[in-house]
Amino acid sequence: FLYFPETYGISFRIQISVKELLGTDVVLKLLFHLPVNYPSTLPDISVNSDQLTRAQCTDVKDKLLEQAKKHLSEPMVHDLILWVQQHLKDVIKQSATVCNEKTTLSKGTEDGIWMLLLHLDHMRAKAKYVKTVEKWASNLRLTGRLMFMGKIILILLQGDRSSIKEYLILQKTSKVDVDSSGKKCREKMMSVLCETEVQSEHKRFQTFEIRDYSTLEKLQRDFEAAGLTTLFSEFVHPLFK
């Protein structure tokens, strides 16, 4: 594409790291598109982060646009970045509260069954890693699949929300793999693709299984059989592009 600033404005990406709850860093990728008549017109903003759910990214974006309205007709990008660095914790907390309220309203309880989809970058000590994941799933009474398709590794889990949260902490803080020199190391290359409540159309997994897929179609069929067609097309299919 050729961008003509006088016709389309300019687009640029900024990556920032924000100290979040539990002391972990959240890396936010912000894309700003400044229209030609910026700052009298609001910028377009998109927010991505491997550490946040899609819903949380949307909440961050909505809050940034609210802030942008307060700065209309003055340069605002710098102020918006400062604002998100200071307020990200609050936005994420509010985002979680809103999710819980919705759950409570729809279920009359917060204890619904939840589902988590993770993408791992690699497993150097595969046999040990697989055993560890099986042990955690069993101890936390989680069901689902550990799926291998070419270089893509996915973990799909279902269970109590508290067990899902506990699993995530184990996955991030335990030494589950080895680095290139063979030393034990933590999982640093994991991304949470989706964390959501199990809906009526989703099939409940009865066991935790390890599966190897020879083709993308077979992987897709398994997701479809479990009522997870949308999950596959939104989060899994893009990994293979």
Each residue's pLDDT tens digit, 145-190: 999 999 999 999 999 988 898 898 888 888 877 777 788 877 777 8
Q: Is the pLDDT of residue 100 over 90?
A: no
CA distance 176 to 157: 18
How far, in Å, CA of 159 to CA of 208, rounded? 11
Edge to edge, what strands does the sheet with 25-34 contain? Answer: 10-19, 25-34, 44-48
Q: Where in the chain is the domain with CATH 3.10.110.10?
A: 10-96
Query: So what's the pLDDT on residue 101?
Result: 45
What pLDDT was estimated at residue 198? Answer: 85
* Sequence-separated (6 or more) residues with CB below 8 Å from residue 168: 116, 192
Res. 2: pLDDT tops 80: no
Q: Which CATH number fits domain 114-240: 3.90.79.10, 3.30.420.40, 3.30.70.100, 3.30.200.20?
A: 3.30.70.100
pLDDT at 6: 54
The sign of the dihedral angle between the CA atoms of 55, 57, 63, 69 is negative
Segment 194-225, tens digit of pLDDT? 888 888 778 889 999 999 999 999 999 999 99
124 contact partners, CB below 8 Å, separation of at least 6: 177, 178, 179, 180
> What does the alpha-carbon distance between residue 43 and residue 61 come to, in Å, rounded to a whole number?
11
- For residues 40 and 74, the answer to whether their CB atoms sit within 8 Å is no
Peptide bond into 35 cis (omega under 30): no
pLDDT tens for each residue of 18-77: 876 556 788 899 988 888 888 898 888 999 888 888 888 989 999 999 999 999 999 899
Q: What's the pLDDT at 138?
A: 92
Mean pLDDT of 217-235: 92
Asked if residue 105 has pLDDT above 60, the reply is: no
Using pLDDT thresholds of 50, 70 and 90, give the confidence band for residue 191: confident
What 3 state SS string does the chain have? CCCCHHHHCEEEEEEEEEECHHHCEEEEEEEEEECCCCCCCCCEEEEECCCCCHHHHHHHHHHHHHHHHHCCCCCCHHHHHHHHHHHHHHHHHHHHHHHHHHHHHHHCCCCCEEEEEEEECCCCCHHHHHHHHHHHHHHCCCEEEEEEECCEEEEEEEEEHHHHHHHHHHHHHCEEEECCCCCEEECCCEEEEEEEECCCCCCCCCCEEEEEECCHHHHHHHHHHCCCHHHHHHHHHHHHC
Topology (CATH level 3) of domain 10-96: Ubiquitin Conjugating Enzyme (3.10.110)
The yes-or-no verdict on residue 193 having pLDDT over 90 is no
| All CATH 3.30.70.100 domain ranges in the chain, comma separated | 114-240
150: region left, alpha or beta (phi > 0 left; psi from -120 to 50 alpha): left
